[in-house]
């Protein structure tokens, strides 16, 4: 048998446990070790990647979901860090009436990905006076991302992480945005309303800050739009979300 | 040519020991880390590795290159590893004589190879490509194995000898893996150690294993056993200057316990290396 055929046979054996073992009874014990290693490692990867989701679901239910996921989604990346990325979709399929389950997993995944996202400088507030705000385009740090949230998954996560009794799962009055990023080596998050989400999406798409202000004035009215633009800009900078601004012209002594 | 020899004693650095290693001087000559744990875009892992590198020589030990894949290596993987190599300037870059990926499927386990002439050609071609991509020679480690494929053209140590001669790579000799595979497949571990090309060995791994229901399993969750210490003492005089380290990946003990185990390695290794000098 060629090496490639042997490796394809072994892949099939590992993933679905075909008849390779019965064709080679002398190798059955060894094959069983490799298959056990394969599944145990993937289950361990999922369990350690989603401790809060696991706590919320319970050990037995989480392991059932993990086993279902391993059957449905063979690992493909060179890094095990990539394997958890599809679990929220599996949980969404398994728990269609409990959106907090998949959203908890999405939340945990987002925190983990922010933790190892690329490093970036953030804007120095001392240089803000030199920014040409008519031309300025805001760039968010690479660890920053936005996710939709329809349930109280962030509240569930906070309660479980803090060792408090979690509230009952509940739907939010309206879908919200979940902002996740890293600052000072710690993954951070907050939820926000759709108005800020839309402003961030416009800024991320490359709209100059001046256009963002115009959008907000049109959406919220002049006073509130200008106030919101200033408030969010200050908040985003303070939270460490913004990299040095294009069109920034430092003050010259 | 394999990498230049480095004589010393180190540990596999794992997360529970990061802080201690960075807060105070620790009596190790080098540390080894799992490459893939640091092949991330940024954040705390990369910063910690840079901090460790400022204090100790660092060896990069990979588990996902899949040097035995019949469909070749993953270019994206090599690119990321090269970036890490360029940043860390490691003592060694190593991976295993095994495969983990085929047709886009990645088992994340060190799967065994049949020691055939066809597999030798494939492994050598892959190592050539990896060494070109990394811009430096690698070390290839003998794995623990649980399957002995029929129809082999050579033993594992003969296979490694050919690999080293054809590619110029060095070898990472895992003495525990020799013991585990020898027990599982019924060959003489001393014959293996006497047959391995000693002039190519640059690093030695020492680790513990567990008894499975049918086979010994390379679990890295126990101290090095007496039989493995004996094999280490047997092979050292052949090796000359070499970097020896203790590997522990599960049931990780306090750093002090690991250093006590490393002291045993020094106790065996230092006199043997002096006698061989």
Any B CB within 8 A of A30 CB: yes
Residue B59, both tokens: 């060896």
Alpha carbon distance B98, B111 (integer Å): 5
Q: Quick check: B146 and A30 CB within 8 A?
A: yes
Model confidence over B147-193: pLDDT tens digits?
Answer: 999 899 999 999 999 999 999 999 999 999 999 999 999 999 999 99
| Per-residue pLDDT at B4 exceeds 80 | yes
For residue B125, being part of any structural domain is answered with yes
- Residues 205-234 of chain B with CB under 8 A from chain A are 212-215, 217
| Per-residue pLDDT at B68 exceeds 70 | yes
Say what the ipTM of the complex is.
0.93
Query: Per mean pLDDT, which range of B2-6, B53-57, B84-88, B98-102 is the poorest?
Result: B2-6
Mean pLDDT for B59-88 is 98
For residue A102, being part of any structural domain is answered with no
Helices A194-204, A209-220: inter-axial angle, 10-degree rounding: 150
Determine contact, residues B100/B107, Cβ cutoff 8 Å: yes
Any A CB within 8 A of B121 CB: no
CA angle centred on A154, ends A148 and A156, rounded to 5°? 135
CA angle centred on B225, ends B222 and B228, rounded to 5°? 125
- In terms of domains, do A89 and A119 share one? no
Q: Quick check: A79 and B103 CB within 8 A?
A: no
End-to-end CA distance of chain A: 76
- In terms of domains, do A143 and A50 share one? no
Alpha carbon distance A198, A210 (integer Å): 15
Q: Quick check: B44 and A115 CB within 8 A?
A: yes
pLDDT, position B1: 84
Q: Quick check: B103 and A8 CB within 8 A?
A: yes
Q: Which domain holds residue A182?
A: 107-253
- % of chain B residues with pLDDT over 70: 99
Query: Which of A76, A97, A118 is where one domain is finished?
Result: A97
For residue B1, being part of any structural domain is answered with no
Which string of DSSP letters, residue by residue, matches chain A?
--HHHHHHHHHHHHHH--THHHH-GGGHHHHHHHHHHHHHHHHHHHHHH-HHHHHHH-HHHHHHHHHHHHHH----SSSGGGGGGGHHHHHHHH-TT-HHHHHHHHHHHHHHHHHTSPP-----GGGGGGB-TTT-B--B-TT-EEEEEEESHHHHHHHHHTTPPPPPP-EEEEEEEEEEEEETTEEEEEEE-HHHHHHHHHHHTT-BHHHHHHHHHHHH-HHHHHHHHHHHHHHHHHTT-BPSPBTB-----
Determine contact, residues A46/A69, Cβ cutoff 8 Å: yes
Any A CB within 8 A of B181 CB: no
CATH code of the domain covering residue B131 = 3.20.20.150
Eight-class DSSP state of B112:
-
Give the nearest partner residue to A33 out of B101, B105, B212, using CB atoms. Answer: B212
Measured between CA atoms, the residue of chain B closest to residue A185 is: B44
The H or E element spanning position B274 is helix B255-276
Q: Which domain holds residue B127?
A: 8-276
CA angle centred on B87, ends B130 and B122, rounded to 5°? 5
Eight-class DSSP state of B244:
E
Q: How many domains does chain A have?
A: 2
Alpha carbon distance A46, A63 (integer Å): 9
Query: What is chain A's pLDDT, residue by residue, as a tens digit (253 residues)?
Result: 899 999 999 999 898 875 544 556 678 888 889 999 999 999 999 999 999 999 999 999 999 999 999 999 999 999 999 999 999 999 999 999 999 999 999 999 999 999 999 999 999 878 788 888 888 999 999 999 999 999 999 999 999 999 999 999 999 999 999 999 999 999 999 999 999 999 999 999 999 999 999 999 999 999 999 999 999 999 999 999 999 886 554 433 3
Strand-pair partners of B171: B140, B201
- In terms of domains, do A177 and A246 share one? yes
Alpha carbon distance A37, A84 (integer Å): 17
CA distance B189 to chain A (A): 19
Q: Which of A2, A39, A16, A12 is nearest to B149 (CA)?
A: A2
End-to-end CA distance of chain B: 22
- In terms of domains, do A93 and A124 share one? no
CA distance B239 to chain A (A): 31
Determine contact, residues B126/B163, Cβ cutoff 8 Å: no
- In terms of domains, do A87 and A123 share one? no
- In terms of domains, do A89 and A122 share one? no
Mean pLDDT for B83-95 is 98
Alpha carbon distance A22, A24 (integer Å): 5
Q: Quick check: B77 and A81 CB within 8 A?
A: no
CA distance B110 to chain A (A): 9
* Residue B270: pLDDT band with limits 50, 70, 90: confident
Burial of B61 (0-12, 13-18, 19+ CB in 10 A): buried
For residue A168, being part of any structural domain is answered with yes
B-chain residues near A185 (CB < 8 A): 43-44, 47
- In terms of domains, do A124 and A212 share one? yes
Mean pLDDT for B121-149 is 97
Q: Give one word for A248, left, alpha or beta, with left for phi > 0 and alpha for psi -120 to 50.
A: beta
Measured between CA atoms, the residue of chain B closest to residue A114 is: B43
Give the nearest partner residue to A2 out of B64, B118, B212, using CB atoms. Answer: B118
B-chain residues near A7 (CB < 8 A): 69-70, 99, 102, 111
User: Which single residue is written with the structure tokens 């594992």?
Assistant: B156
Q: Quick check: B106 and A42 CB within 8 A?
A: no
* Residue B276: pLDDT band with limits 50, 70, 90: low
Mean pLDDT for B76-96 is 98
Q: Which of B234, B255, B249 is nearest to B20 (CA)?
A: B255
Q: Quick check: B76 and A78 CB within 8 A?
A: yes
Any A CB within 8 A of B104 CB: yes
Q: Which of B254, B251, B248, B252 is nearest to B10 (CA)?
A: B248
Q: How many domains does chain B have?
A: 1
Any B CB within 8 A of A73 CB: no
CA distance B2 to chain A (A): 26
* Residue B203 three-state SS: strand
pLDDT, position A248: 53
Determine contact, residues B133/B79, Cβ cutoff 8 Å: yes
For residue B36, being part of any structural domain is answered with yes
- The neighbour count for residue A250, using CB atoms within 10 Å, is 12
Q: If you average pLDDT over every residue of chain B, what do you get? A: 95
Any B CB within 8 A of A78 CB: yes
Determine contact, residues A44/A36, Cβ cutoff 8 Å: no
Any A CB within 8 A of B109 CB: yes
Determine contact, residues B179/B231, Cβ cutoff 8 Å: yes
Which string of DSSP letters, residue by residue, matches B153-180?
SS-HHHHHHHHHHHH--EEEEEHHHHHH
Measured between CA atoms, the residue of chain B closest to residue A45 is: B108
Alpha carbon distance B137, B202 (integer Å): 11
| Per-residue pLDDT at B209 exceeds 80 | yes
Q: Quick check: A4 and B76 CB within 8 A?
A: no
């Amino acid at each position: 048998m060629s090496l490639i055929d042997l490796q394809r046979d072994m892949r099939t054996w590992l993933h679905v446990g075909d008849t390779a073992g019965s064709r080679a009874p002398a190798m059955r014990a060894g094959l069983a070790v490799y298959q056990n290693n394969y599944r145990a490692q993937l289950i361990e990867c999922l369990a350690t990647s989603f401790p809060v989701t696991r706590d919320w679901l319970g050990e037995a239910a989480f392991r059932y979901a993990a086993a279902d996921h391993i059957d449905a989604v063979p690992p493909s990346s060179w890094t095990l860090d990539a394997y958890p990325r599809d679990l929220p979709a599996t949980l969404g399929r398994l728990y269609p009436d409990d959106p907090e389950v998949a959203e908890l997993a999405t939340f945990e995944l987002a925190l983990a990905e922010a933790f190892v996202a690329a490093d970036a400088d953030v804007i120095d507030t001392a240089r803000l006076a030199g920014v040409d705000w008519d031309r300025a385009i805001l760039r968010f740090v690479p660890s920053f991302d936005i996710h939709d949230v329809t349930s109280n998954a962030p509240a569930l996560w906070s309660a479980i992480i803090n060792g408090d009794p979690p509230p009952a799962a509940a739907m939010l009055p309206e879908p919200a945005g979940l902002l996740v990023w890293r600052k000072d080596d710690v993954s951070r998050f907050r939820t926000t309303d759709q108005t800020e989400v839309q402003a961030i999406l416009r800024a991320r798409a490359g709209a100059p800050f001046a256009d963002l202000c115009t959008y907000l004035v049109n959406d919220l009215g002049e006073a509130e739009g200008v106030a919101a633009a200033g408030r969010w800009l200050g908040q985003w900078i303070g939270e460490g979300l913004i990299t040095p601004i294009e069109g920034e012209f430092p003050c010259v002594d | 040519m394999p990498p230049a020899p480095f004589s010393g004693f180190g540990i596999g650095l794992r997360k529970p020991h990061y802080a201690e290693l960075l807060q105070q001087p620790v009596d190790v000559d080098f540390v080894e880390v799992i490459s893939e744990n640091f092949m991330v875009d940024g954040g705390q892992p990369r910063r910690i590795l840079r901090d460790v590198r400022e204090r100790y020589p660092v060896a990069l030990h990979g588990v996902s290159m899949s040097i035995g894949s019949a469909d070749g290596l993953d270019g994206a993987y090599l690119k990321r590893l090269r970036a890490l190599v360029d940043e860390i300037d490691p003592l060694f870059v190593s991976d295993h004589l095994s495969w983990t990926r085929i047709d886009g499927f990645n088992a994340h386990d060190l799967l065994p190879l049949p020691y055939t002439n066809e597999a030798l050609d494939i492994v050598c071609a892959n190592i050539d490509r990896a060494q070109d991509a990394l811009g430096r020679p690698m070390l290839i480690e003998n794995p623990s194995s649980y399957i002995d494929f029929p129809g082999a053209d050579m033993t594992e140590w003969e296979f490694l000898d050919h690999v080293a001669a054809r590619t110029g790579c060095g070898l990472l000799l895992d003495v525990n893996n020799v013991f585990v595979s020898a027990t599982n497949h019924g060959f003489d571990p001393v014959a293996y150690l006497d047959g391995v090309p000693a002039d190519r060995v640059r690093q030695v791994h020492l680790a513990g294993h567990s008894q499975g229901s049918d086979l010994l399993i390379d679990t890295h969750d126990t101290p090095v056993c007496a039989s493995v210490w004996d094999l280490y003492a047997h092979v050292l005089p052949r090796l000359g200057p070499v970097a020896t380290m203790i590997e522990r990946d599960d049931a990780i003990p306090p750093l002090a316990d690991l250093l006590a185990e490393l002291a045993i390695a020094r106790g065996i290794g230092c006199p043997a290396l002096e006698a061989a000098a």
